[in-house]
Structure 1
Amino acid sequence: MSEFTSTSTIIDLIRHGEPEGGQKFRGALDDPLSELGWQQMRGAIAEKDRWDAVVSSPMKRCRFFAEEVARARDIPLHIAENLREVSFGVWEGLTAEAINEQFGDDLARFWSNPGSFTPPEGEPMVEFRDRVVQCFRQWQDELAGQRVLVVCHGGVIRMILADVLGVPLERSFASVSVPYANRSRIRVDQSVHGEFRSLLSHFSSELLG
């Protein structure tokens, strides 16, 4: 970037809708969207939305919708392997109730400080954060100056928002709610004065009625 160049990048993060199989810990499980999930995703975007590119997690509950958007709007689609959800290890496929029954207060320990407690055979939160933040910053730089839609997961969005807002890892999961099809908008300004990132909005279309 030359000293006279400045760019503004708008990045819309959208969490996938409801997957088939209902509410459960499915970080690494590759379930597609349910019929309701498709409705949630399609209802979360509008004709007036303008994007120059789509970046997506490789997982079916994200990628299939990202493919639809990219095809309908004739814009590039990039699959980012490191935007996949965190692996919950042996908790995969279990409901919160089942985890509480089988593992006592481990789930509460995870939610209160995910950086200090990892589910058995799961992905350590520090490693998850590092791969997500590195990947997000890579695409932020590669698509600088564009309007970008990123289709990903609740955990991924929490890590990105924590990085943007300076939220410590131990508060990264409990400090923000990310419902299905929730949208978050980030603006990145880069100039000779440095890089400035801000959260412009964070909302669920369903909650808006």
Structure 2
Amino acid sequence: MAYIQGKITVTKIILVRHGQTEWNAQKRFYGWTDIGLSAKGGKQARLLAENFPERQVDLIYSSDLTRASDTAAYIGKQFSCEVRTDRQLREINFGKWEGLLYDEILAKWPEEMRVFLSRPDMLKIPDGETFSQVQKRAVARISEIADANAGKNIVAVTHGAFINVLLAASLRIPLRHLWSLQQENTSVNILYYREGSWQVELVNGTAHLGIDEMANTH
């Protein structure tokens, strides 16, 4: 369980990015397109579950997209915990950019790509979401989950942009500086929630991935 500080109940939220997919490896833009884990992604998820940074997990939530729910399933098996899928935990919707490579997007939408890289807070993806919209969705849903499960250790397996916009809100980083944050596949982020406010303990933790590398050197 998370702890109670004085009379204030503190809830721990462990945000996890899904394991690698083939489209990650190809550096394709995708958000709502449902792509499963690659062989490497499955291995990353297994290493995460077997070396999870928390000894107790009370609840596991996951984006309803396969790459997230399959990553969550490894954690659920490790802790004998059911996974609850939630559409509100999805990645940003990349609209017409879904499935395209950087160069393909740059060729057709050069100005939008410039804004994506320099002022993500001002970007409107064609037929997609804005980062502001995703941030509002992320903050609202994770806050609801925390309020409904006060004092518990909660895992939420989701996506890179979703996690970064939530971290930006928690750290009071303007969205224009969103790319100052990085999320590797199966990275772990730990936040504490109390009475509507957030405290960040860990960002982009990947120690579990190094365990396999160390084993191969001995």
Alignment TM class, shorter chain as reference:
0.7 to 0.9
In the TM superposition, what are the counterparts of 1:96-175 in structure 2 within 5 Å?
A: 96-172=102-178, 174-175=179-180
* Change in CA separation of 1:175 and 1:131 when aligned onto 2, cut-off 3 Å: same
- Distance in 2 of aligned mates of 1:36 and 1:137: 32
**Match for 1:155: what amino acid?**
A
Q: Give TM-score, length-normalised by structure 1.
A: 0.87
Of 7, 15, 18, the match for 1:13: 15
- Distance in 1 of aligned mates of 2:74 and 2:59: 12
TM superposition shift of 1:48: 6.3
Number of equivalent positions: 201
- Distance in 1 of aligned mates of 2:152 and 2:92: 27
Structure 1: give runs of 5+ residues left out of the alignment.
none
Query: Per the alignment, in what secondary structure is the counterpart of residue 93 of structure 2?
Result: coil
- Distance in 2 of aligned mates of 1:53 and 1:92: 31
The answer to whether the 8 Å contact 1:9/1:187 transfers is yes
The structure richer in helix per residue is: 2
TM superposition shift of 1:196: 4.3
Of 39, 46, 68, the match for 1:42: 46
Give per-residue Cα distances to partners, 1:17-47, cap 9 Å, x unaligned: 1113332111111001111011112222416
Identity of aligned residues (%): 26
**Match for 1:182: what amino acid?**
S
* Change in CA separation of 1:108 and 1:42 when aligned onto 2, cut-off 3 Å: farther
Name the Cα RMSD after superposition: 2.0
The answer to whether the 8 Å contact 1:187/1:200 transfers is yes
Query: Per the alignment, in what secondary structure is the counterpart of residue 150 of structure 1?
Result: strand
Structure 2: give runs of 5+ residues left out of the alignment.
1-5, 214-218
Q: Give TM-score, length-normalised by structure 2.
A: 0.84
TM superposition shift of 1:207: 6.7
Give per-residue Cα distances to partners, 1:84-132, cap 9 Å, x unaligned: 0111111110111222233224223113222212121111222222111
- Distance in 2 of aligned mates of 1:73 and 1:131: 28
Deviates more, 1:103-112 or 1:77-86: 103-112
* Change in CA separation of 1:52 and 1:128 when aligned onto 2, cut-off 3 Å: same
TM superposition shift of 1:188: 2.1
* Change in CA separation of 1:74 and 1:44 when aligned onto 2, cut-off 3 Å: closer
**Match for 2:192: what amino acid?**
R
- Distance in 2 of aligned mates of 1:180 and 1:16: 6
TM superposition shift of 1:5: 3.7
Matched with 2:186 is 181
* Change in CA separation of 1:154 and 1:143 when aligned onto 2, cut-off 3 Å: same
- Distance in 1 of aligned mates of 2:187 and 2:16: 6
